[in-house]
Structure 1
Amino acid sequence: MSTPTLPIADTRQVARAAGRLIAADRRAAAAILLLNVLAAVAALGAPYLLGRIIDAVTGPRAAARIDLLAGAVLLCALAQTLLARWALLLGYRFGERTAARIRIGFLSRALSLPASVIERVPPGDLAARGTTDVDAIAGTLRDVLPGAFVAGIHLVFLLAAVLVLDPLLGLSGLLGLFGIVITGRWYLRRARNAYLEEGAANSELAEELAATAAGARTIEAFRLHRSRLAVGRAAIARTRRSRLATLRLRSVYFPVAEGSYNIPVVLVLLIGGLLYRGDRITLGTVVAAALYLRQLIGPMDTILIWLEQLQSSSASFARVEGLAAVPAAPATATAAPGSDRIEVKGVRYAYPGGPDVLHDVDLTVQPGERLAIVGLSGAGKSTLGRLLAGVDRPHTGAVTVGGVAVAELPPDLLRRQVVLVTQEHHVFRETVRDNLMVPASDDRLAEALRTVGADWARDLDTDLGEHPLTGAQAQQLALARVLLADPHTVILDEATALLDPRAARVAERALAAVLHNRTVIAIAHRLQTAHDADRIAVMDAGRIIELGTHDDLITHGGPYAKLWRQWHG
């Protein structure tokens, strides 16, 4: 079964997202556009006036006219500088506000992703999108886009000025830019895919590094150094190949484009010289046209240098915006369940691209009952637990609570009904209060911590980033969250399996306090948990093959009795 990945937005989706960001700050965008247009108009004055100065040298009252025109050149340069600086200031502010909107939007989308998606997508991919890609977009909006926007408007106005000055000279200049256009099209056709591959390679590398760091003890215990090094080297090799591919594109694009800068000026001087000799145009007009085209080097250089960053950030934007393409989990239930009774009827389920792992499962859990689900690894215990918690939906059949499909409950209502507690418990680099994630009074938060035996959490403002928790303490924090959420049903999927025996005993005492008067569905390999349950469901190959009390199943002498003997033997 292939590893699922988050989608990538296409160019239309990215364009629509960019349009929404501009519309959200339309006044600033309009002001930036207006100021850039005015700055570009002011920049057109100097070359034209210099051409007139050349023509004025041979005319009457040359000195007075030259002084007047020189003053006008100075005013145009001053106006261009002030307007461009103002536009850049507004552009930087616009970029920072827009980058903040992108970050907030990404976080909101990531938090609203269905649990089934979050658990199956490699965390390195999501982390790379939320850090490297978002930072690339923010940097582009702050540093690249304002300058590129100014250069683009300046470029258009310069070309228009040459065409207005003399259409034939203008066409000659445009013809000289043909090489840059061809090279640009060649680059743009290849750049997006190359940068998307580079982003995917970065995600894979981040995932492998995170997995190796997280499993360092396991790697040490089982001597898996060579295999992890091989995987890491493969990820690094892919990253290197992807970066060399984008480097090859730049190494072709930049030299060819920069070598084409002087072609328009050369053509204008040659054709302008011929026209001047034929008295078709004045020398000042030729000089003005050449100066206009010479001024193209500045904005063209800016655009060419930043075009690579724009392509890179465009690929990053496509990856960030790809989260919007993840379908939200449908939640059609509008009414709260009528009771706490959980029913599983004729359920079949298969993971994407794989065979069925659950086959015609039927089960009823009464309110307040303690049910243990046992079986060998791969029997389907955890999968059934995910269906009971509403993380996944059955392909056929139904999983309901109080007559309402569990997976159709809105997230806030679902978590007041059923909570899944697994082996993994995340601790945020925030205070104890923030980690509990429930808006409640300090007294209620402290009471929940005392109930689960978290005596270490006396100060709710303790920063857990500076004071890391042990596994048992993280477990207690997770159980305090469960207690504050106050669900009627708690599903325990090997909740203490990763703890050492002493920490497990502490966590189990905390569990007993949390689970008082609640429905408990425990998925466990430790059969002592099953011994204390009201009923035991034995699973094998995706089916419930036995169901009853501990004593009844032992008396029956079936698969559970065999498991019990093996566990004690």
Structure 2
Amino acid sequence: MTAIILPDAGRERVRAELRGIWRTHRARFVVVIALFGASALAGLAPPRLVGVLIDRLTAGAGPAEASLYGAAMLACVLVQAVLVMFAIRSALMLGEEVFTHLRDQFMSDVLRVPMGLVESAGTGELVTRTTQDISSVSETVRRALPESLIAAVTVILTLAAAALTSPLIASAYLLAVPLLIVVMRWYMERAVGVYERMGASYGPLFASLTETANGARTVEALSLADVRNRSIDDVLARHWVTAVGRIQLRMVVLPWSNLAFAIPVFASLAWGGWLSIQGQVSIGTVVTVTLYAAALVAPLEALIEWTDELQKGLVSFARILGVGEVREPTGGDAVPSSTEVELRDVRFAYRTGHEVLHGVSLRIVPGERLAIVGASGAGKSTLARLLAGIDDPTEGRAMIGGVDVREVPLERRRREVLLVTQESHIFAASVLDNVRLAHTDAGDDEVLRALQATGAADWVDRLPDGRDTAVGAGGHPLTGAQEQQLALARVVLADPHTLILDEATSAIDPTAARDLEAALAAVMEGRTVIAIAHRLATAYDADRIAVIDAGELAELGTHEELLARGGSYADLWRAWSADGGSPQGD
């Protein structure tokens, strides 16, 4: 199956965002441009002073006058250095502010991308935009924009200075214009496409490398090394083609642009020399205009170089903005009339023609504890996702309080029905902040009660700084069981009316898991708890048990009722009991 690629923002959206950035920081941009302009003007003085000095020496000026001109040139260089320092500092500070805003907005957009779309597109695509594209935009904001601004201002003012010094000699610069127009037009027509293909090639590459690394044990156990190597070679080959395209683009542009930059230098020297022989201009004027032509080479080369980076940055910017165009539907404005959760004849397929659930109808009584059991791949987790409103049924309806889940506002839906999976995540923050993610205004006492409910309070108190101990990346290491306890403490603090536990206690040993589930049940008294579990001790404690078999609701009833029927649940129970399981432990 071909992965869905997240969209890129259109050119109009990119322009609108850039205009918005300009409007927000207009005053700062004007200051930066003014500083760069002043520094460029200071840099234009020495060539002019050299030309005047040559004319004065020709006219018989002495050492004292020559020293004054030398001191003036030195002063101009020092002034330019100071202005450049302040200009670059202001540009970098402005760049950091702009990039901080863009990064925060991007992370906000990422968190709104529907989980189903992330899974369909593949993690590599989102990782590429989170790392590669963010890095590219960072380079653009922090370096390409300031450097391009310096180069552009320098080129404009240098051309103006040359024209003011001698329009007749400066006209020789125009010889380079036709070549530059042809080269840059050829480049601009191809650059966007090259960088779009290059940006898109990173997603499959990162996905293949990440999946192979994360599944290294599986690859080794099933002897899949050759298969995975071929997969990596394939995506590397596709990325190589796009990378070579960029190299070929630069190989064409750079030689011709360098030739165009050299033309004004030789042309102004030759044409100015002839005019000087004819007595129409002074030698000093020829030298000044030729020095200006030579001074144009460095900023023009920088413009070409940074134009390449700007094109790359704009493509990455469009890819970053594209993430914001894919948002989880916020739902309607319907208000559930009760806490009842229900599925009505739902069907679901991750891929067309490959249905996972086949007409499942299930009504959960408010306040009951429902266990959903079945073989791996039967559709239990898919059922949980539909109940939580993460995925929409292909057919049928998932409902909360008699209202279609899709019509309930997203924020309300997340508060009412909460899905907790076995993939718990701990953020790089204190224990207190990690738990408070579920309710940012919660007090210390509320956090403590949540930790006590999940059995985490004792070991948290033994940490070096207690609840203020930093955990996560770079912090105090936690076991898988401890991470799940903190994740479940967030759930307790969130206080939903319906809690879905999809193997949420899988990292905890069976006896402790059962104790934790019992503690959660006590805390969630009066609320609905739906447990997806392989441990049948969880089913034994439930009010009702739903057995999912090959995407269908095969059985529904209490533990005793299902054992009496002698169906698939009874078979599972006998197999589990024969393997040493019991209601007291697994």
- What is the match of residue 581 of structure 2? none
Q: Give 1:124 shift.
A: 3.7
Contact 1:379 1:541 in 2 (8 A): yes
Counterpart CA distance in 2 for 1:550 and 1:519 is: 18
Counterpart CA distance in 2 for 1:130 and 1:264 is: 44
- Range moving further from structure 2, 536-545 or 99-108: 536-545
Which of 457, 460, 478 is the equivalent residue of 2:460? 457
Q: Give 1:341 shift.
A: 1.0
Q: In the alignment, residue 453 of structure 2 is paired with which amino acid?
A: T
**Unpaired runs of 5+ in structure 2?**
579-586
Contact 1:490 1:515 in 2 (8 A): no
Deviation by residue 1:298-318 (Cα, 9 ceiling, x = unmatched): 211322333333333333323
Q: In the alignment, residue 194 of structure 1 is paired with which amino acid?
A: V
Q: Please state whether the residue corresponding to 1:188 is helix, strand or coil.
A: helix
Counterpart CA distance in 2 for 1:482 and 1:349 is: 27
Q: In the alignment, residue 21 of structure 1 is paired with which amino acid?
A: I
- Range moving further from structure 2, 506-515 or 252-261: 252-261
Q: Give 1:343 shift.
A: 2.3
Q: Give 1:278 shift.
A: 4.6
1:37 aligns with 2:37: yes
User: In the TM superposition, what are the counterparts of 1:147-158 in structure 2 within 5 Å?
Assistant: 147-158=147-158
- What is the match of residue 487 of structure 1? 496
User: In the TM superposition, what are the counterparts of 1:85-484 in structure 2 within 5 Å?
Assistant: 85-167=85-167, 169-333=169-333, 335=335, 337-351=336-350, 353=352, 355-436=354-435, 437=437, 438-439=439-440, 440-454=442-456, 455-458=458-461, 459-465=466-472, 466-484=475-493
Q: In the alignment, residue 450 of structure 2 is paired with which amino acid?
A: A
Deviation by residue 1:11-43 (Cα, 9 ceiling, x = unmatched): 433333233233332221111122223333444
Q: Give 1:156 shift.
A: 1.7
**Unpaired runs of 5+ in structure 1?**
none
- Range moving further from structure 2, 426-435 or 346-355: 346-355
Contact 2:503 2:532 in 1 (8 A): yes
Q: In the alignment, residue 399 of structure 1 is paired with which amino acid?
A: A
- Range moving further from structure 2, 268-277 or 417-426: 268-277
Q: In the alignment, residue 296 of structure 2 is paired with which amino acid?
A: L
Contact 1:194 1:246 in 2 (8 A): yes
Q: Please state whether the residue corresponding to 2:192 is helix, strand or coil.
A: helix
Counterpart CA distance in 2 for 1:284 and 1:368 is: 94
Q: In the alignment, residue 367 of structure 2 is paired with which amino acid?
A: G
Counterpart CA distance in 2 for 1:307 and 1:51 is: 33
1:510 aligns with 2:516: yes
Deviation by residue 1:90-119 (Cα, 9 ceiling, x = unmatched): 111111222222222222222233333344
Q: Please state whether the residue corresponding to 1:12 is helix, strand or coil.
A: helix
Counterpart CA distance in 2 for 1:504 and 1:208 is: 35
Q: Give 1:340 shift.
A: 1.0
Q: Give 1:403 shift.
A: 2.9
Q: Please state whether the residue corresponding to 2:418 is helix, strand or coil.
A: strand
- Range moving further from structure 2, 554-563 or 7-16: 554-563
Q: In the alignment, residue 457 of structure 1 is paired with which amino acid?
A: V
Counterpart CA distance in 2 for 1:504 and 1:186 is: 67
Contact 2:334 2:403 in 1 (8 A): no
Q: Give 1:551 shift.
A: 4.1
Contact 1:415 1:485 in 2 (8 A): no
Q: Please state whether the residue corresponding to 1:7 is helix, strand or coil.
A: coil
User: Structure 1 562/180 Cα, relative in aligned 2: closer, same or farther at 3 Å?
Assistant: same
Counterpart CA distance in 2 for 1:234 and 1:17 is: 36
Contact 2:219 2:225 in 1 (8 A): yes
Q: Please state whether the residue corresponding to 1:331 is helix, strand or coil.
A: coil
Contact 2:341 2:400 in 1 (8 A): yes
Q: In the alignment, residue 468 of structure 2 is paired with which amino acid?
A: D
User: Structure 1 280/519 Cα, relative in aligned 2: closer, same or farther at 3 Å?
Assistant: same
Counterpart CA distance in 1 for 2:369 and 2:2 is: 36
Q: In the alignment, residue 462 of structure 1 is paired with which amino acid?
A: T
Deviation by residue 1:228-269 (Cα, 9 ceiling, x = unmatched): 344344444444444344333333333332233211222223
Contact 1:479 1:510 in 2 (8 A): no
Deviation by residue 1:330-374 (Cα, 9 ceiling, x = unmatched): 232264x33211122343433365554444433211111222334
Counterpart CA distance in 2 for 1:67 and 1:543 is: 96
- Range moving further from structure 2, 278-287 or 399-408: 278-287
Contact 1:7 1:322 in 2 (8 A): yes
User: Structure 1 515/194 Cα, relative in aligned 2: closer, same or farther at 3 Å?
Assistant: farther
Deviation by residue 1:65-86 (Cα, 9 ceiling, x = unmatched): 8777666655554544433332
Q: Normalising to structure 1: TM-score of the pair?
A: 0.87
Contact 2:50 2:284 in 1 (8 A): yes
Matched residue pairs, number?
Answer: 565
Root-mean-square deviation (CA, aligned residues, Å) is: 3.3
- Range moving further from structure 2, 359-368 or 34-43: 34-43
User: In the TM superposition, what are the counterparts of 1:533-544 in structure 2 within 5 Å?
Assistant: 533-540=542-549, 542-544=551-553
Q: Give 1:388 shift.
A: 0.8
Q: In the alignment, residue 521 of structure 1 is paired with which amino acid?
A: I
Counterpart CA distance in 1 for 2:227 and 2:476 is: 33
Q: Please state whether the residue corresponding to 2:531 is helix, strand or coil.
A: strand
Q: Please state whether the residue corresponding to 1:344 is helix, strand or coil.
A: strand
Counterpart CA distance in 2 for 1:22 and 1:506 is: 57
Q: In the alignment, residue 474 of structure 1 is paired with which amino acid?
A: E
Deviation by residue 1:158-181 (Cα, 9 ceiling, x = unmatched): 223434555554443122243344
Q: Please state whether the residue corresponding to 1:457 is helix, strand or coil.
A: helix
Counterpart CA distance in 2 for 1:456 and 1:229 is: 44
State the identity as a percent: 42
User: Structure 1 395/224 Cα, relative in aligned 2: closer, same or farther at 3 Å?
Assistant: closer
Deviation by residue 1:141-163 (Cα, 9 ceiling, x = unmatched): 22332122011111122223434
- Range moving further from structure 2, 394-403 or 472-481: 394-403
